[in-house]
Structure 1
Amino acid sequence: MADTPITLQSDRGTVLLTDGPPGYDFTQLPGVLFDPRTSTYRAQGRHYRAVIEHLVREKIPFTDSARGWENKDAGWKLKVDWPPHWYQTEALDTWVKTGRRGLVILPTGTGKTFLGALVIQKVSRPTIVVVPTLDLLRQWVGQLADFFGVEVGAVGGGDYFFKPLTVITYDSARIHAERWANKFGLLIYDEVHHLPGPSYAETAIAALAPFRLGLTATPERADGGETIYPELVGPIAYRREITELSGDFLAEYQAKRVLIDLTEEEAETYKSSREVYRQFVADRGISFGSQSGWQRFIFEASRSPEGWKAMRAYRQQKEIERAASGKLAMLEKLMLQHVGERIIVFTADNATVYKIARKYLVPPITHQTKVKERKQILERINSGEYTVVVTSQVLNEGVDVPAASVGIVLSGTGSTRENVQRLGRILRKYKGKQAVLYEVVARGTAEEFTSDRRRQHGAFQ
């Protein structure tokens, strides 16, 4: 009598294994462990492909009831006659050779969405695309509908309908993981650098999708989380930098750092505030070299009057760094120098955004700006009705402003990724534009060190 086939079932983001030959050791299968809570053998969803490949290779009979999609060509063909750029063709071919898994790293403005469509056409399986923002969700839904001429599902921002081709936000993907984890054969993460966060990573762990693509311009993370890409999505399959594609596929650009001096009063206040803050940090033995340094500073600062004083001093020095009078004077000078061009002004905080918006009567975009209003502002920037927009961190990624040619960074973090993303906002090809990114830095402050850190990328050398 033939051995009973092993049965694979999907169970809440895992693959449950039952039946099989008498005495079969399920733990020899990739990722399979014994679950003492239910006295069953199971593997995380991400091991589904490896389990299937092992069973096929060893000629072990099995019944696959875990896969919730039809394992046949979905017949999706691109309806647009767009010849891919050479680097998109290279990226697709390399991704296929890497086992149809892995990251493709391309600068902002080089057509990562179209590359995603090429991958969807190549694999032709039910596909779910995970994106970080509602802006990107609507962008992907619209473009995929145009590319393939099909209705595209959307989950996030009040929308909740799944289709064989669906776009979902990271937050919704996490919340509804059990609903979709076994329904899609291809999993695409846009802005994949968000994925290594503990809650978002759970979506890649639960998904059964054997084919996976991660898209980003900036894979590196401050916490070193990029080391887990291979187990969640796959290795880096293909990479091109801004300097390799500028001129032909991106706008020519310059990156300039402009140093300004604090006033005598600002310099004195900055120095005294920084001394108060640094002395408190030294007395408590707090090190910002560790990931918990900032959390510990907040905890210690909340416990005593000296701590509250140190926190106020920290905020005061930051306010001076971010909105020194010399910075606003330089901003005004640069806006006059580039009058008529489309300008994006970047800051690190909302308070500075609104201060600039009131002073110069320019539209602000922050996380408080409603989606409809944000869309209207960006449309008016692209049309030329507005020429300047000021933002905090909302426009760092995932927003298409092709007409913008001037970026002015008044403040930001020390993150190289943030700096590259801000540069990317002004690099899209548009009527032969010459792009320029100004970084305005307060001389004699900690911001000089922060600026040095965020410029540690080939695009700024």
Structure 2
Amino acid sequence: MTDDPADPNGDASSIDAGAFYDLLEARRRPAVTTAEVAESIGCSIEAAADALAELVDGSEIGRLAPDGDNVWFPDRVGSAEERLTVFGSRRRIVADRPAQYTRALLTQFAHLEETNGEGGYVYTVREEDIWNAPYETLPELTATVRSALGDRYEALEEWIEGQWERAHKFRLTTHEDGYVVLEAKSADLLGNVAEPKLDDDVLRAKIGDTTAWVADDRTAELKRTLYEAGYPVEDHRDLETGDELAFDLTLELRPYQADWIVRFADAGSGVLVGPPGSGKTVAALGIMADVGGETLVLVPSRELATQWHDVLLEETTLSPEQIGEYHGGRKEIRPVTIATYRTAGMDRHRRLFDSRKWGLIVYDEVHHIPSPIHRRSASLQTKHRLGLTATPVRETEDQEQIYTLVGRPIGTDWEALFDAGYVAEPEVEIRFLPWGSELHRNEYDAAVGHEKRQLAATNPAKIREIAAILHEHRGSKAIVFVEFLEQGEAIAEELSAPFISGETPHARRSRLFDRFRSGRLDTIVVSRVGDEGIDLPDTEVAIAASGLGGSRRQGTQRAGRTMRPVGKARMYVLATRGSREEDFARKRTKHLAARGVRVREAEPVTAGPEARTDRSGEGTTPIGEE
């Protein structure tokens, strides 16, 4: 192999760093597989793997091992050059140190399977990734694939083309007489796919060889069923808009927000996917004005309903009489009505909402839609549906229903927003802490199930680390997230900071959030009530003290509390070393890494007594004095 990198008479002993680099040059590839090396020198795969592993041990080459498929590349010490290896027929992409731009392109059509924390990423291209790719035409998608991969991969592109065509086999339209019609690309699709898969009363009658009359109240069910069968349904129904509602925005849109509005107008429905702080709510206001019809806004909490009400008054020409709230505290139906998902899902209220012809329904935090009670709101009649989310991921893996029930994703690259300065790119640091004492470790070893998870989450060593972090960031606005109430109370007492949980009365909760926004509080401790949608601008530090067993979406939301254009933003994830929290911490931050957020692991600091000084002297008020 030393003399000729393709010599079939070579053996594994001939593999040295020089021969390896010659092989890369001969194949004009940035990386090679073990099988390719073995084939080139005529030895067994096992022998080639052993020889290459010795070069890795000597830091002469690098290795990634997705599911045992070793990929070998030049040593990356002193080099930041990205390397991509594509397994076209298997639809897998192995990326070593991909640039943020490359990762942004990959997320448009591929799913991140794993990352090794050292710059290595493994992506898989799945059916749903192509079905939900945010492109209007196949050439646009193909151009992005080639741009990301740097070359044309025929097997992969043929498969992508097949999935693209599959996603355009069925569509819903409105007949000139007003009823809903399912159109299929062929008679075979209608007769051998749609009719057998759907319940008898979903399709009321066939109209022609490729068309059938659909029961009005079964369209959501039809779309779900065919999606699960592998056939996404395009929705081109001509729905009524209801009464007109003309108003203007009183602020200037960012370029990408204006682009969202145009793309939504072209699609008719869709989901805005962008990081917290990117202005999805403002873009939604622009879409509302563009639609020009009465609007129902659905939110997960009363706090968000109030927040929407305030933003509508501040940023549009709508009058107070045109905006209503409908939830446990208020019952107002107005041209723009803001309701909670739970209230809208109740039968006695849903009939009231369904009797009104909405021009637009906005689903804030749209990842709630697949859950049983929230899904009921997806059947409400409206011409347009708009979802808002930082991440559509749900741990039940039914996130595809979001796009089925609401619309396909419309978004922009997170990295582009970071680079343009619209959103502060947070740095995420995972710190693994020892146990507070041997007694706590022994209690953990003896515990089982939920108790084991709670003991790791509430490790007392975290309180000291939190104090040290806040001491390091003196003067910064900080949020500490917890899952367990007793832990939240203990941390709040240590910091002389308020603790906000679901048990905090609504009025007091609102006052504390307002004081944090205005800068009169610089530190708050919150339970899950702070995870979603609450607008807390200028937050510079977020600390996840517990809750690592929660969802990837929750991790994104908490990191998102620091995504604001205010300079350097940091998120700290605290996990107990030697517990399941270690694995949870890495898994929950992987989704952020896929979006271009920098994630690193670090040792805890050694905090002296000064780090335990509370921050109440600079804007933090003890709980009892608020």
- The TM-score, its normalising length taken from structure 2, stands at 0.56
In structure 1, C-alpha distance between the alignment counterparts of 2:402 and 2:278, rounded to whole Å: 22
Greater RCO, CA 8 A, separation 6+: 1
Name the CA shift for 1:320/1:214 in 2 (closer, same or farther; >3 Å): same
Indicate whether 1:338 and 2:473 are aligned: yes
Q: Which residue is equivalent to 1:202?
A: 376
Deviations 1:176-211 (A, max 9, x none): 111112421211101100111112111112x12121
* Mapped contact 1:366–1:392 kept (Cα < 8 A): yes
Helix, strand or coil for the counterpart of 1:225? coil
Q: Which residue is equivalent to 2:247?
A: 77
Shift of 1:103: 0.8
Residue correspondence of structure 1 range 114-263 to structure 2 within 5 A: 114-146=282-314, 147-150=316-319, 151-175=322-346, 176-183=349-356, 184-205=358-379, 207-241=380-414, 243-246=415-418, 248-262=421-435, 263=437
Helix, strand or coil for the counterpart of 2:205? helix
Shift of 1:237: 2.8
* Mapped contact 2:288–2:295 kept (Cα < 8 A): yes
Shift of 1:367: 0.4
* Mapped contact 1:419–1:454 kept (Cα < 8 A): yes
Q: Which residue is equivalent to 2:442?
A: 268
* Mapped contact 2:245–2:335 kept (Cα < 8 A): no
* Mapped contact 1:32–1:43 kept (Cα < 8 A): no
Q: Which residue is equivalent to 2:205?
A: 27
Helix, strand or coil for the counterpart of 2:488? helix
In structure 2, C-alpha distance between the alignment counterparts of 1:142 and 1:238, rounded to whole Å: 25
Helix, strand or coil for the counterpart of 1:214? strand
Structure 1: which 5+ residue stretches go unaligned? 10-24, 34-40, 57-65, 278-310
Shift of 1:399: 1.0
Shift of 1:422: 0.4
Name the CA shift for 1:395/1:190 in 2 (closer, same or farther; >3 Å): same
* Mapped contact 2:426–2:559 kept (Cα < 8 A): no
In structure 2, C-alpha distance between the alignment counterparts of 1:230 and 1:336, rounded to whole Å: 44
Name the CA shift for 1:269/1:79 in 2 (closer, same or farther; >3 Å): closer
Name the CA shift for 1:252/1:45 in 2 (closer, same or farther; >3 Å): closer
Runs of 4+ in 1 over 6 A off after TM superposition: 50-54
Which amino acid counterpart does residue 77 of structure 1 have in structure 2?
F
Helix, strand or coil for the counterpart of 2:296? strand
Indicate whether 1:380 and 2:518 are aligned: no
Shift of 1:375: 1.7
Helix, strand or coil for the counterpart of 1:91? helix
Indicate whether 1:88 and 2:88 are aligned: no
Aligned length: 377
Q: Given the alignment, which residue of 482, 485, 493 partners 1:350?
A: 485
Name the CA shift for 1:117/1:28 in 2 (closer, same or farther; >3 Å): farther
Q: Which residue is equivalent to 1:106?
A: 274
Residue correspondence of structure 1 range 324-335 to structure 2 within 5 A: 324-335=459-470
Q: Which residue is equivalent to 1:303?
A: none
Deviations 1:51-96 (A, max 9, x none): 9977x8xxxxxxxxx95824xxx2523140x221121122112222
In structure 1, C-alpha distance between the alignment counterparts of 2:511 and 2:567, rounded to whole Å: 23
Shift of 1:7: 7.5
Q: How large is the RMSD of aligned CA atoms in angstroms?
A: 2.8
In structure 2, C-alpha distance between the alignment counterparts of 1:103 and 1:215, rounded to whole Å: 6
Q: Which residue is equivalent to 1:44?
A: 218
Indicate the larger mover: 207-216 or 320-329. 320-329
Shift of 1:342: 1.3
* Mapped contact 1:408–1:439 kept (Cα < 8 A): yes
Q: Which residue is equivalent to 2:60?
A: none
* Mapped contact 1:414–1:451 kept (Cα < 8 A): no
Which amino acid counterpart does residue 339 of structure 2 have in structure 1?
I
Residue correspondence of structure 1 range 286-325 to structure 2 within 5 A: 314-315=450-451, 317-325=452-460
Indicate the larger mover: 178-187 or 446-455. 178-187
Residue correspondence of structure 1 range 436-451 to structure 2 within 5 A: 436-451=570-585
* Mapped contact 1:415–1:453 kept (Cα < 8 A): no
* Mapped contact 2:536–2:561 kept (Cα < 8 A): yes
Shift of 1:368: 0.7
Q: Given the alignment, which residue of 394, 413, 419 partners 2:529?
A: 394
Helix, strand or coil for the counterpart of 1:455? helix
* Mapped contact 2:392–2:402 kept (Cα < 8 A): no
Which amino acid counterpart does residue 531 of structure 2 have in structure 1?
N
Which amino acid counterpart does residue 390 of structure 1 have in structure 2?
V
Indicate whether 1:418 and 2:590 are aligned: no
* Mapped contact 2:271–2:409 kept (Cα < 8 A): yes
Which amino acid counterpart does residue 220 of structure 1 have in structure 2?
V
In structure 2, C-alpha distance between the alignment counterparts of 1:215 and 1:122, rounded to whole Å: 17
Shift of 1:347: 1.1
Deviations 1:384-404 (A, max 9, x none): 332211111110111111132
In structure 1, C-alpha distance between the alignment counterparts of 2:234 and 2:525, rounded to whole Å: 51
Which amino acid counterpart does residue 453 of structure 1 have in structure 2?
K
Name the CA shift for 1:418/1:208 in 2 (closer, same or farther; >3 Å): same
In structure 2, C-alpha distance between the alignment counterparts of 1:426 and 1:31, rounded to whole Å: 50
Indicate whether 1:409 and 2:556 are aligned: no
Indicate whether 1:359 and 2:528 are aligned: no
Deviations 1:395-440 (A, max 9, x none): 01111111321111111124211111001112222xx432111111
Helix, strand or coil for the counterpart of 2:287? helix
Q: Which residue is equivalent to 1:299?
A: none
In structure 2, C-alpha distance between the alignment counterparts of 1:351 and 1:156, rounded to whole Å: 30
Which amino acid counterpart does residue 444 of structure 2 have in structure 1?
Y
Name the CA shift for 1:434/1:97 in 2 (closer, same or farther; >3 Å): same
In structure 2, C-alpha distance between the alignment counterparts of 1:393 and 1:51, rounded to whole Å: 36
Helix, strand or coil for the counterpart of 2:590? coil
* Mapped contact 2:256–2:412 kept (Cα < 8 A): no
Structure 2: which 5+ residue stretches go unaligned? 1-175, 181-202, 223-232, 600-626
Shift of 1:236: 1.5
Helix, strand or coil for the counterpart of 1:245? helix
In structure 1, C-alpha distance between the alignment counterparts of 2:528 and 2:221, rounded to whole Å: 36
* Mapped contact 1:95–1:238 kept (Cα < 8 A): no
In structure 2, C-alpha distance between the alignment counterparts of 1:437 and 1:51, rounded to whole Å: 40
In structure 2, C-alpha distance between the alignment counterparts of 1:204 and 1:114, rounded to whole Å: 22
Helix, strand or coil for the counterpart of 1:407? strand
Helix, strand or coil for the counterpart of 1:220? coil
Q: Which residue is equivalent to 2:148?
A: none
Shift of 1:325: 2.4
Shift of 1:26: 5.0
Name the CA shift for 1:422/1:7 in 2 (closer, same or farther; >3 Å): closer
Which amino acid counterpart does residue 362 of structure 2 have in structure 1?
I
In structure 2, C-alpha distance between the alignment counterparts of 1:130 and 1:221, rounded to whole Å: 19
Indicate the larger mover: 228-237 or 101-110. 228-237
Name the CA shift for 1:230/1:52 in 2 (closer, same or farther; >3 Å): closer
In structure 2, C-alpha distance between the alignment counterparts of 1:394 and 1:409, rounded to whole Å: 14
Name the CA shift for 1:200/1:319 in 2 (closer, same or farther; >3 Å): closer
* Mapped contact 1:31–1:43 kept (Cα < 8 A): no
